[in-house]
Each structure stands twice: as structure tokens, then as C-alpha cells.
């Protein structure tokens, strides 16, 4: 009889040395965050890591920028104080290990190890998140050439996740990072709450409020299209520099979704193409929401709408930017099936509403 592998087989006990405080039990049984500091060492399965800088922290624990001794390679190590949460994130990362992280713009995990009650996940080091980027630029609108590069790469990420039946469940500005800002390379990160599509819970409070799909708010059946909605909200934020809908209360969010919504835009073909794509991503009915494969074939991504007189210079600039993130032949060929139609009626029922963006 072959039983389920013990947790220790995935999380071998390792050594942590340096001046530190061991995890403390909180009053409710949770592990309190330990005091990891610069100069500490973590010994993993593939090498020894020295903490150079604390990049961030939250209720889960901390993220540290570390160097691997001997090679001086840089990594981002996520230290999770709660063992169960660490196990869940590791299990989520195992789901996507069959996907190429470079081709599909997904964060790469190198190893996972533990000491005492603390789980360490070793990831590639990235630059800054979209949240930090927008804050640094005081929420200024982002040029469409950059929005297009971001959209294309994230559509590829969602297409890959859909192909293996996985839903990210937490797409937001914080969870998309620049892998290389100069060449506009992005990666989708933080799969801590990712699940298989057939295990999506109904009625659970998933997704951050500003990026929460209407079917999640309404407690309706869910599928991978909740990620497309969340990505649509991300692109809207990047495009206009702010959240398009209020997010203090679910009622206010739903009300804004079913009412006429207007984005400032220029009356040129490229902005029209982007707004059309955004409408299809922010389709309140998930059955009519655009899919990742369809999105990759949309004119805004393929730039077919930029052909013609008077557009040559602009088109060349756009293609130059997208040349840094090349599209495959399958992604640029015309769609064999027509795109979803956009219905201009504002429905009275929130569950059937359609967003109109002019």
C-alpha cells in the first residue's frame, strides 16, 4: 500500500543560522512572524542564501532579497510563518510547474525548504510591481504601446493557465511585476490562492475587491473567466491611472458595473480598439466574456487596425515595442471565428448586466 507522502518529503527540515528569534505562537495558535533581518543565512536544498534586503512583509511573513553563496545569484525568498499557508502556496506552484515560465510570463520557483515552523519558497528576483510603478508615477495614464505589451503577455499567461485548468484567483496590480522594465517584460506572480478550475468555491470571498468579478460578488457559479475580469480591471487601472469602479462596498461596485461608465479616450483607431477589448474583458456575463485565445487575436493585440495611410509612423513605433515581446504565428493570424458581439443595452439585473464604455 502506497500512502500519501508526508509533508516532510516536500518540505525537508533544513538549517537556519545567524542571530534570530524563533517563531512564537500567537494567542490564537497562529505562528507570529519571526524577526528575519539582513545578514541572516538560510540553508536550502540547493544552496545557502544570505539575506541582503527585506523587500516587503505582510500577514503571511516576509519577502527577502537574497544571494546564493558561491554564485552570487539573486533570488526573492518568501518566508511564510504559517506552515499550512506555506504548504498551500507550494501545492499551487506545483500545479503550474508543467508550464514554461518564460514563454508564459509566470514567476519561476526554484525550490522550497523549511526550518522549525517556517516555510521558505525561493523565486526568481523581479523588479517592481504595477502598483509600485503607478504610485511612483503618481497614477498617470500609461501609453497604449505599453498597455498592449502588458495585455499580450498576461493573455498568454491566462491562456497557459486555462490549458491546464488552473485559476489564479488573485490578479491585481500587486501581482503583476516587471521582469525587465527596459524591454517591457512582465510576469504574473503569487499563486498562493490558485486552484484548479473544477475546485473553485462558490460564495467564497476570493479576489481583491477592486478586481472582483461580478459573479464572485453575486455568489454565482465560477470558472477561469474571473481572471479575465480581474485583468480587465488591471488594464483599466493602468490605462487611466485609477480604479474605474468604487470598491468600498459590493453594492456600490455592482451598481457602477450596471450603469453607464465612461473612460476618457482619444477618437483614434488604436484607442477605439483598446476600449473594444476592454469592453469584452469587462463583460458582466461570464459566458460572453472574451477568452484568452480570443483576446490574443483581437485587433488591439495583432495591430491589424493600424494598417493604412497616415498610420505608418505610429504603427512602426507600436510594432517596435511589441517586437520586444514577439507574438507567435498562432497568435497573430486572423481569428477563424467572429469575436463576441457587444450589446449596448444596460441590463436591469446585475447578473446579466453589460458594461458600456464609450
CB of 164 closer than 8 Å to CB of 96: yes
Name the domain boundary from 124, 158, 179.
Answer: 124
> Rounded to an integer, what distance in angstroms lies between the CA atom of residue 54 and that of residue 68?
15
Check residue 267 and give its pLDDT: 73
**Number of domains forming the structure of the chain:** 2
CATH number, domain with residue 213: 1.10.510.10
Is residue 170 annotated as part of the catalytic site, yes or no? Answer: yes
CA 164 to chain centre: 17
Residues 174 and 80 in one domain: no
The b/e string for 253-282 (b: 16+ C-beta within 10 A; e otherwise) is: bbebbbeebeeebeeebbbebbbbbbbbbb
> Rounded to an integer, what distance in angstroms lies between the CA atom of residue 298 and that of residue 274?
9
Check residue 354 and give its pLDDT: 27
Check residue 36 and give its pLDDT: 78
The b/e string for 309-326 (b: 16+ C-beta within 10 A; e otherwise) is: eebeebbeebeebbeebe
Residues 251 and 332 in one domain: yes
The b/e string for 22-58 (b: 16+ C-beta within 10 A; e otherwise) is: ebeeeeeeebebbebeeebebbbeebbbbbeeeeeee
pTM for the structure as a whole: 0.78
CB of 295 closer than 8 Å to CB of 258: no
167 domain-assigned: yes
358 domain-assigned: no
- Residue 219 phi/psi, 5-degree rounding, is 70, 30
Can you say whether the dihedral through the CA atoms of 205, 274, 142, 260 is positive or negative?
Answer: negative
pLDDT over 70, % of the chain: 71
Residues 61 and 188 in one domain: no
Q: Is 78 annotated as a binding residue?
A: yes
Residues 40 and 172 in one domain: no
Can you say whether the dihedral through the CA atoms of 51, 52, 56, 57 is positive or negative?
Answer: positive
Residues 160 and 308 in one domain: yes
CB of 156 closer than 8 Å to CB of 105: yes
> Rounded to an integer, what distance in angstroms lies between the CA atom of residue 307 and that of residue 291?
25
Residues of the chain with pLDDT under 70: 1-34, 116, 139, 244-266, 309-310, 312, 323-358
Residues 155 and 87 in one domain: no
Catalytic residue chosen out of the listed positions 31, 100, 170, 227: 170
Domain extent, residue 120, equals 7-124
Name the domain boundary from 79, 104, 124.
Answer: 124
**Using one digit for the tens of pLDDT, what is the confidence trace for 7-52?**
332 333 333 443 333 334 443 444 444 677 888 899 899 999 999 9
Check residue 72 and give its pLDDT: 82
CB of 15 closer than 8 Å to CB of 43: yes
Residues 104 and 177 in one domain: no
**Using one digit for the tens of pLDDT, what is the confidence trace for 158-195?**
999 999 999 999 999 999 999 999 999 999 999 989 99
Residues 40 and 118 in one domain: yes
Residues 92 and 196 in one domain: no
> Rounded to an integer, what distance in angstroms lies between the CA atom of residue 280 and that of residue 228?
9
End-to-end CA separation in angstroms for the chain = 63
Amino acid at each position: 500500500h502506497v500512502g500519501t507522502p508526508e509533508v516532510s518529503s516536500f518540505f525537508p527540515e533544513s538549517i537556519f543560522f545567524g542571530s534570530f528569534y524563533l517563531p512564537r505562537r500567537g494567542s490564537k495558535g497562529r505562528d507570529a512572524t519571526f524577526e528575519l533581518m539582513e545578514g541572516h543565512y538560510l540553508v536550502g536544498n540547493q544552496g545557502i542564501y544570505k539575506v541582503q534586503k527585506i523587500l516587503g512583509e505582510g500577514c503571511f511573513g516576509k519577502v527577502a532579497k537574497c544571494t546564493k553563496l558561491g554564485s552570487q545569484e539573486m533570488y526573492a525568498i518568501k518566508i511564510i510563518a504559517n506552515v499550512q499557508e506555506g504548504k498551500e502556496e507550494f501545492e499551487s506552484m506545483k500545479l503550474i510547474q508543467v508550464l514554461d515560465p518564460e514563454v508564459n510570463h509566470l514567476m519561476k520557483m526554484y525550490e522550497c525548504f523549511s526550518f522549525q515552523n517556517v516555510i521558505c519558497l525561493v523565486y526568481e528576483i523581479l523588479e517592481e510591481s504595477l502598483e509600485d510603478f503607478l504610485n511612483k508615477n503618481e497614477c498617470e495614464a500609461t501609453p497604449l504601446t505599453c498597455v498592449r505589451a502588458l495585455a499580450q503577455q498576461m493573455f498568454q499567461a491566462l491562456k497557459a493557465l486555462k490549458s491546464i485548468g488552473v485559476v489564479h484567483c488573485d490578479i491585481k496590480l500587486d501581482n503583476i511585476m516587471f521582469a525587465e522594465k527596459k524591454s517591457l517584460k512582465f510576469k504574473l506572480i503569487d499563486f498562493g490562492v490558485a486552484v484548479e478550475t473544477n475546485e473553485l468555491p462558490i460564495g467564497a470571498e476570493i479576489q481583491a475587491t477592486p478586481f472582483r468579478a461580478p459573479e464572485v460578488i453575486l455568489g454565482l457559479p465560477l470558472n477561469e473567466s474571473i481572471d479575465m475580469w480581474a485583468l480587465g480591471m488591471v488594464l483599466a487601472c493602468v490605462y487611466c491611472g485609477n480604479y474605474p469602479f468604487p470598491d468600498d462596498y459590493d453594492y456600490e461596485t455592482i451598481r457602477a458595473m450596471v450603469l453607464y461608465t465612461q473612460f476618457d479616450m482619444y477618437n483614434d483607431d488604436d484607442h477605439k480598439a483598446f476600449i473594444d477589448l476592454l469592453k469584452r474583458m469587462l463583460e458582466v456575463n461570464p459566458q460572453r466574456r472574451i477568452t484568452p485565445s480570443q483576446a490574443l487575436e483581437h485587433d488591439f493585440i495583432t495591430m491589424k487596425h493600424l494598417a493604412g495611410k497616415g498610420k505608418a509612423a505610429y504603427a512602426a513605433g507600436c510594432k517596435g515595442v511589441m517586437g520586444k515581446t514577439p507574438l507567435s504565428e498562432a497568435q497573430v493570424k486572423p481569428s477563424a471565428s467572429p469575436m463576441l458581439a457587444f450589446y449596448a443595452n444596460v441590463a436591469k439585473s446585475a447578473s446579466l448586466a453589460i458594461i458600456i464604455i464609450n
